[in-house]
Amino acid sequence: MRMLALGELLRPARITRAATEAETLPVLSVTRHGGLVNQDSVFKKQIAGQDRSKYLIVRPHQLVVGIHIDEGALAISGPSQRGIVSPAYRLWDLASPETVFGPYLNRLIRSPRAIHYFGSHYRQTAHRRGKIRGEDFLALPVFLPPLPEQKRIAAILDAADALRAKRRESIEQLDSLVQATFLEMFGECDRPPVSIGPPSFGSKSSYVPLSQVATLATGHTPDRAREDYWGGSIPWISLTDIRTLDGRVAFDTLQYVTESGLANSSSVLLPKGTVCFSRTASIGFVTLMGREMATSQDFVNWVCGPKINPIYLMTALRQSRPYLLSKSAGSTHKTIYYRHAEEMQVYLPTLALQTRFAAIVESIEQQKARLKAHLAELDTLFASLQSRAFNGELVA
């Protein structure tokens, strides 16, 4: 068992430009969770430039170093992986493949301990992106047991990571199930279930003004200079508190306002069950309030009446996101103005059908909660295994 510097295990790779192979090889990107993957499997839009002739060819068992290595943007290519990467990337070969097992080193350099090391050696620049000096990068300490032990440790980590991947996949499938159930139950609504103004699609008679079945409520930001407006007991949601399209509220960043802050900011205390729809920047993040809350002015809030189920409305807004994005205004920051919200029309099935759909969604959400709890346990286990593996505690 040895402790070496990363630079002792690498040598600069021979650079080959894509040239005539640019159109035949897949474009690869380094991602935080997936490692080195085909770009079109991650991004829905084309990220790579049109002229790829100067892109670098990646061969099997090469270390690909991206820009944000402090966020995990580096990985070793697989035994049969071949593609091209941006010229901004750096490539390294394993100096001694007979003594270093690529999958083991890949796990080590992408471990939390290594990422923390890279981040701690970053130097801030005038640009948004920081830099790490080459000598600091190559000085990363690497615990290197004998080759058979490297393979055994990599297999243990692969098995644990595979369990995490299955849980994430199951959660994604449940998200897809909600969408599929919505389309199956409300098949008549083969167009966006929420429109701005009278719809020009589907059965117009099935749409009603949203204001007829729900009450529009706006939010506002209390004066930041008034300390007596902040630090109260009323949860206040801003755009940064809803980070994903499934509307999960990040309670770790949530701020709280006082009653006087709320009363003097033209905002209102919204009841449990209010549907919040982000109308600017990250348009279409929708959440359902699980308790009384207030929001910033970046949200359109709908307090549902007896004729519309909040879970149905939340899902209808999510299903309509691409359409609503296309109707947003503004050149720099896309926005759905309040006047657009006032013009919203909603496809309205019977309340019995809405209630049945809501019951299905609640059942799916309970399953998701159980899977997410298990995934959190697996994440903790995986982090512990990585720490032990690269400290020499898993060596037989």
Supply the pTM of this predicted model: 0.76
Q: Is the pLDDT of residue 381 over 50?
A: yes
So where are the chain's domains?
Answer: 2-144, 146-186+351-396, 189-348
Mean pLDDT lowest among 88-92, 95-99, 125-129, 219-223: 125-129
What does the pLDDT look like over 186-234, one tens digit per residue? 876 568 899 998 887 666 678 999 999 999 998 889 999 999 999 999 9
Q: Is the pLDDT of residue 128 over 50?
A: no
Helix (H, G, I), strand (E, B), or coil: what is residue 141? strand
Helix, strand, coil shares of the chain as percentages rounded to 5? Answer: 40, 25, 40
Q: Which two tokens stand for residue 142?
A: 């690497």
Q: Is the pLDDT of residue 136 over 50?
A: yes
Q: How many helices (H) and strands (E) does the chain have?
A: 9, 22
Q: Is 91 left (phi over 0), alpha (psi -120 to 50) or beta?
A: beta
Strands (E), 88-140: 90-94, 122-123, 131-132
User: What pLDDT is attached to residue 19?
Assistant: 84
* Nearest-angstrom CA–CA distance, 110 and 112: 7
- Write down the CATH number for the domain with range 2-144: 3.90.220.20
| Cα–Cα separations (whole angstroms), residue 130 to 124, 151, 195 | 5, 34, 43
Q: Which residue has the higher pLDDT, 361 or 34?
A: 361
Contact predicate 256/231, CB 8 Å: yes
What does the pLDDT look like over 321-349, one tens digit per residue? 888 888 888 766 788 888 889 999 999 99
H or E segment at 161? Answer: helix 147-185
How does residue 308 score in pLDDT terms, banded at 50, 70 and 90? Answer: very high
Choosing among 3.40.630.70, 1.10.600.10, 3.90.220.20, 3.40.50.2300, the CATH entry for 189-348 is: 3.90.220.20
What is 146-186+351-396's CATH topology? Answer: Helix Hairpins (1.10.287)
Fold matches, 146-186+351-396 and 189-348: no
